[in-house]
Structure 1
């Protein structure tokens, strides 16, 4: 059973984030992680049962850090367009500034070890934004939430490849979401 978080475990996760940022998920081997952390391979197995368990822990930590950033930006806003815009902006800014974004947004969708994690994370985020979409008048806010998540991730990747915010994509994303479902402006 893996040990609870402690300096050694955190050092391995930090090293993995660096390796993932540089090499992607395919380059995220146990050997690469322990080398980047400057630790013995046996130390890895004291904290994680295997590579899969490690990659899942790394993915969770990445998204938990994003969630903290987004929650701070959203604050105590009531559900609605202002809260949704604040959350999307915080998400996109954090993705652009966080190590490993490419690995954990694009590559994680095709990594068999992470498919369940990606789906679970998307469901959690969808549940958070459903009230915002309901306030905006969407008849099926859960379905729209699924699409918003996909559009936000695609925008984050476009910004990552551009190495800068893409204001036109951000504006289009919020305009699409905020347009009233009947086709009228909200």
Structure 2
């Protein structure tokens, strides 16, 4: 009879987030994860077939948690600029407060195991804000959404490395969001 995935899977993912925060994705070895979790290496392989699938699970878990925070902030808002601004603010604030942001936002862009995941997640977010941009009058909301995702990710990285919110960048992004093409 197979063992249930929980709580071992969760313990491994939690340990991996700590390791990624402390050592980055390059330092995220299976040995480091099981040591941080206080588990045997065999337990890791019970839950994950390899490092790649584990790193993907970590990345998804990180972004799913961010999505929950953002969703709670925008749930009651109608499509449009206010909803996008609220989502951007929630995302940026959460990135500053969430363990693993450096690894899962910055380093994941260059980790070959995560490139497809990063692109897929960015496309998912872009698709989710297209209706807002369409409501605002943008003629090509897909292209604008793609650029908005890239812009907000860059702001998040700037804030992360600076250790504080960049109100000037947030204000500039809000101004750009409010200016649909004519």
Aligned-partner SS, 2:42: helix
Structure 1, 171-180 or 139-148: larger mean CA deviation: 171-180
* Residue 37 to residue 77, structure 1, CA distance change in 2 (3 Å): same
- Where does structure 2 lack aligned partners over 5 or more consecutive residues? none
> C-alpha distance in 1, partners of 2:101/2:107?
9
Name the CA shift for 1:28/1:3 in 2 (closer, same or farther; >3 Å).
Answer: farther
Partner of 2:55: 55
Corresponding residue number in structure 1 for 2:178? 178
* TM-score, normalisation: structure 2: 0.96
Structure 1, unaligned runs of 5 or more: none
Are the equivalent residues in 2 in contact too, given 1:3–1:47 (CA < 8 A)? no
Q: How far did residue 180 of structure 1 move?
A: 2.7
The alignment status of 1:115 with 2:119, answered yes or no, reads no
- Aligned equivalent of 1:102: 102
Q: Aligned ranges for residues 120-135 of structure 1 at < 5 Å?
A: 120-135=120-135
- Give the CA RMSD over aligned residues: 1.3
Q: Which residue of structure 1 aligns with residue 137 of structure 2?
A: 137
Q: Deviation of residue 3 (structure 1)? A: 7.1
Contact 1:21-1:99 at 8 Å conserved across structures? yes
Task: Measure the CA separation in 2 of the matches of 1:164 and 1:6.
Answer: 35
What TM-score does the superposition give when structure 1 sets the normalisation length? 0.94
**Matched residue SS, 1:26:** coil
Instruction: State how far apart, in whole Å, the 2-side matches of 1:58 and 1:4 are.
Output: 19
**Structure 2 residue 175 is matched with structure 1 residue 169:** no
Q: By how many angstroms is 1:11 displaced?
A: 0.5
Counterpart Cα distance in 2 of 1:93 and 1:5: 31
Displacement of 1:76 after TM fit?
2.2
> Paired residues, what number?
181
